[in-house]
Amino acid sequence: MSAAPPPDNNVPAVQTFALTRVYGSMIALNALNLTVNRGDLFGFIGSNGAGKTTTLRILATFLAPSAGTAQVLGHDVVRDADAVRHVIGYMPDFFGVYKDMEVTEYLDFFGACYKIPSSQREKTVNDVLELVGLSEKKGALIGALSRGMQQRLGLARVLIHDPQLLLLDEPASGLDPRARIEMMAILQELQKMGKTIIISSHILSELETLCNRVAIIEKGKLIYTGQAQGVRDQMATGRVFWVRVIGDEVRAVELLKARPEINQVEQTEGRLKVTLNDHDTDPGCVAETLVHGGVKLVGLEEEELGLEEVFMRVTRGETQ
């Protein structure tokens, strides 16, 4: 039997085609079409029960789809499951550790499971420990490690066979702020090394700065996929500007409210909050109105729509 040809390097890291998963009468995934490009640090966003974990488990070959297909680096997750397992590293939101084992013993065990030769395992274990910042804990018992260190050890475990794609389900769950920051820094370094990473998380403010692309999912349906800035632009139907003037604020409010392009004007803490009717409205109308009306304008700044606010706007918190 001849070996299967290597996957085309031009194909995306992940592609799903009408991917569907049904549990009895519950639809966990509803015809999901998703593309993750090679080299992406991809944020997968959704409420609990939205379908994130189901998607990751299908990609990791632990679940079979009820309908549709999924490919990982060109390999079908059902027909080529063994090939998929060799190129992925899957880290679930909760994973078991052997607390009475030493860190190096734990990783050596998994290295043996991946059939890494014993002559190479020591160097491989040392390399992944250095990568996740646990070199000083080589001889420590796992049970003595903090939650953050155990999460990093879990990441080291999925890196032991040098996978091309990492599937990380809530990797920062339960971590304190410092441990979360350290984990995100490690993920950025892995992306620089050429890894493709899919990370599901509720820590939206961190995904906004961490990920180059995101997807939002609710009730098993894909609501948005693309750049983080793209979803902000798409949902910012009423752009908001903060305005500072010198002089008569009441006069400024009257002038702005008279413009048809402006939806709302509010006075708050020495500034005016001006909401435009739609995203395409030229914000220059704000400055033009005030200057022509004889009001001295000293500040005009757009309010950035954060990813958390976008998430709240586009989702309803619904689950199956």
What's residue 3's pLDDT? Answer: 47
Same domain, 98 and 136: yes
Q: Per mean pLDDT, which range of 7-21, 32-46, 155-169 is the poorest?
A: 7-21
Quote the pLDDT of residue 312. Answer: 67
Number of domains in the chain: 2
pLDDT over 80 (residue 304): no
Tell me if 92 is assigned to some domain. Answer: yes
Mean pLDDT of 230-257: 80
Instruction: Say what the pLDDT of residue 161 is.
Output: 94
Which structure tokens are listed for 137? Answer: 């804990």
Pick from 209, 229, 249: which residue ends a domain? Answer: 229
Domain match, 274 and 129 both: no
**Strand order across the 240-246 sheet:** 262-268, 271-276, 240-246, 296-302
Mean pLDDT score of the chain: 86
- Residue 8 pLDDT grade (very low, low, confident, very high; cuts 50, 70, 90): low
16 DSSP β-pair partners? 34, 70
Co-location of 152 and 282 in the same domain: no
Taking the whole predicted model, whether its pTM rises above 0.85 is answered as no
8 falls within a domain: no
Q: How many CB atoms lie within 10 A of CB 158?
A: 20
pLDDT of residue 1: 37
Q: Examine the domain organization and report whether 267 and 143 are in the same domain.
A: no
* Mean pLDDT, residues 257-262: 90
> What pLDDT does 2 receive?
41
Domain-embedded: residue 1 = no
pLDDT of residue 280 exceeding 60, the answer is yes
Domain region containing 164: 14-229
Please give the share of the chain, as a percent, with pLDDT higher than 70.
88
Give yes or no: residues 168 and 260 share one domain. no
d(CA 187, CA 167): 12
Between 230 and 176, the more confident residue is 176
**Is residue 141 located within the same domain as residue 19?**
yes
Let me know if residue 315 belongs to a domain. Answer: no
> Are 24 and 170 within one domain?
yes
First to last CA, the chain: 44
The answer to whether residue 189 scores a pLDDT higher than 90 is yes
Please report the pLDDT score of residue 77 as a whole number.
96
